């Protein structure tokens, strides 16, 4: 018994002593950077805020107190100097995606979490054509059909208190499932988010996908930001105790399996996103493994739904909070849309520059992804904002901080679509407002997101008057991986043109 206690005491001592030893050894010269609280010694500072979905706030406060370069984990340095955007994420940078993406990946990587450059290039070649604007516009009627379902659902709930965020979630899940798998979830017509998941043995069970997805992303992001050994321990522990978080991961994966297998079994009479994954890639003799197809299907449902739903909610709420901007947008839309138009063509809406300004300003002020996307320096190290950073150090530049940088924009915390017509501000807006990131790892789905945002916002603004249930309430942020808005309760009525 004594030996067990001695061994346990030694393990606990090592657990606490090693971070202190590592800090003072400072093999990577990171002690020169200030750190909040115990962040330089342990990942627990960052993991605490991941667990409470408030990492963006903690990082913001750390930079406000300590300056533009802050050590937020023992091996992670965060930069808010605008130069960091290109230094870390730009074309030609040798800085790669970090171990975060390996921590959240399953048995197969997808196009978003592949850390190997060659693997990512192979995947991106397959998917880039699918997500090109030209290709998506050949499927515009698919989006129109889902938009009609959204309008019908909202028309049936006029004058009722509804959470518009939830209905935008249903729209984006319906849209991406129809585009990717031919068959939509049909959530808007059924009025809820109940679908089926499939177990390995082929049996199915009911899943409410919106909360399941959000819980799964919270858990995955929490694991991702831990060091690999700790991440693996967290995964095993939560699985062992059958936590709701680990079940959410399993349930979302089961929904992806159900939709993918349903589509592969039924086939399709039109080209959908999955069709590209069924082809044998150029230069290969074998089709893509089924596990890899499932991984790509999961990222389509993930990225193809959540970020757009967040952006739709943010934009709708911001316009409701800023009646002058809403009035100006409607005046412009009235010139190109009649009041019965619920299937506006994207090409027609391109003639509305103020609509694009409203969307761009929303994405600047409330980006769907606010964190600094984690990257890792190459073994030879990198220069970032004039600092030499040693090899194998995680670095990031928080999107929200850059897009609200007071040195780049006037009144950066204000919603002002007119700034996008200001020739003095425009160069910085174009260079530093990058909600989809930049470089070779920029979001591959940005064209789909902008098409859906443009069509949906134009339609709901043209058709409805909106009353916020709590006009003085700020729309909260809930940061999982994406920066999700909280509940957004509104009452809609049919707009009467004056």
256 is in an annotated binding site: no
- Exposed e or buried b per residue across 61-77, where buried means at least 16 C-beta atoms within 10 angstroms of its C-beta: ebbeebebbbbbbbbbb
Helical (H) or strand (E) element with 77: strand 76-79
CA distance 375 to 354: 35
Instruction: Tell me the Cα Rg of the chain.
Output: 23
CA distance 101 to 396: 14
Instruction: Please choose, from the candidates 146, 38, 111, 73, the residue with its C-alpha nearest in 3D space to the C-alpha of residue 451.
Output: 146
- Exposed e or buried b per residue across 259-273, where buried means at least 16 C-beta atoms within 10 angstroms of its C-beta: bbbebbeeeeeeebb
E strand segments, 82-200: 96-97, 162-163, 194-198
Structure tokens at 399: 């999107």
Structure tokens at 346: 């994207």
CA distance 193 to 406: 41
Terminal-residue alpha carbon distance, the chain: 84
Instruction: Please choose, from the candidates 422, 379, 372, 363, the residue with its C-alpha nearest in 3D space to the C-alpha of residue 81.
Output: 372
Q: Would you list which residues are annotated within the binding site for heme?
A: 443
Q: Would you list which residues are annotated within the binding site?
A: 443
């Amino acid at each position: 018994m004594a030996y067990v206690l001695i061994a346990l005491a030694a393990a606990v001592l090592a657990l606490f002593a090693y971070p202190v030893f590592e800090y003072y050894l400072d093999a990577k010269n990171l002690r020169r950077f200030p750190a909040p609280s115990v962040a330089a010694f342990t990942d627990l500072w960052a993991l605490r805020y991941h667990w409470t979905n408030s990492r963006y706030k903690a990082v913001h406060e750390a930079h406000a107190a300590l300056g533009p370069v802050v050590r937020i984990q023992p091996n992670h340095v965060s930069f808010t100097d605008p130069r960091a955007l290109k230094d870390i994420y730009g074309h030609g940078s040798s800085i790669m995606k970090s171990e975060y993406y390996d921590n959240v990946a399953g048995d197969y990587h997808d196009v978003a979490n592949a850390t190997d450059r060659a693997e990512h290039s192979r995947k991106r070649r397959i998917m880039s054509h699918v997500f090109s604007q030209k290709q998506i516009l050949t499927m515009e009627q698919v989006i129109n059909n889902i938009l009609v379902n959204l309008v019908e659902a909202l028309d049936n709930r006029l004058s009722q208190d509804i959470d518009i965020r939830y209905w935008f979630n249903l729209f984006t899940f319906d849209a991406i499932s129809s585009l990717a798998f031919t068959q939509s979830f049909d959530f808007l017509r059924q009025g809820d988010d109940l679908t089926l998941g499939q177990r390995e043995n082929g049996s199915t069970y009911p899943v409410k996908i919106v909360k399941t997805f959000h819980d799964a992303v919270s858990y995955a992001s929490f694991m991702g930001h831990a060091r690999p050994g700790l991440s693996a321990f967290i995964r095993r522990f939560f699985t062992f105790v059958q936590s709701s978080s680990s079940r959410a991961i399993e349930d979302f994966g089961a929904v992806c399996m159900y939709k993918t297998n349903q589509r592969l079994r039924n086939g399709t009479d039109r080209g959908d996103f999955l069709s590209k994954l069924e082809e044998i890639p150029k230069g290969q003799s074998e089709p893509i493994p089924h596990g890899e197809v499932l991984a790509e299907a999961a990222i389509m449902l993930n990225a193809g739904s959540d970020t757009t739903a967040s952006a739709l909610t943010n934009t709708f709420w911001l316009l409701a909070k800023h009646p002058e901007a809403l009035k100006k947008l409607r005046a412009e839309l009235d010139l190109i849309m009649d009041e019965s138009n619920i299937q506006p063509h994207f090409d027609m809406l391109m003639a509305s520059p103020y609509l694009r300004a409203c969307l761009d300003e929303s994405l600047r002020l409330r980006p769907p992804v606010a964190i600094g996307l984690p990257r890792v320096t190459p073994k030879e190290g990198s220069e970032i904002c004039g600092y030499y950073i040693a090899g194998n150090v995680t670095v990031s530049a928080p999107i929200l901080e850059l897009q609200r940088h007071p040195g780049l924009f006037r009144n950066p915390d204000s919603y002002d679509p007119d700034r996008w017509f200001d020739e003095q501000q425009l160069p910085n807006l174009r260079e530093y407002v990058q909600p989809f990131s930049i470089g070779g790892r920029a979001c591959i789905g940005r064209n789909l997101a902008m098409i859906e945002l443009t069509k949906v916002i134009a339609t709901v603004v043209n058709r409805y008057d909106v009353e916020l249930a709590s006009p003085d309430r700020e729309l909260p942020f809930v940061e999982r991986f994406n920066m999700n808005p909280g509940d957004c309760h509104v009452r809609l009525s049919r707009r009467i043109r004056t």
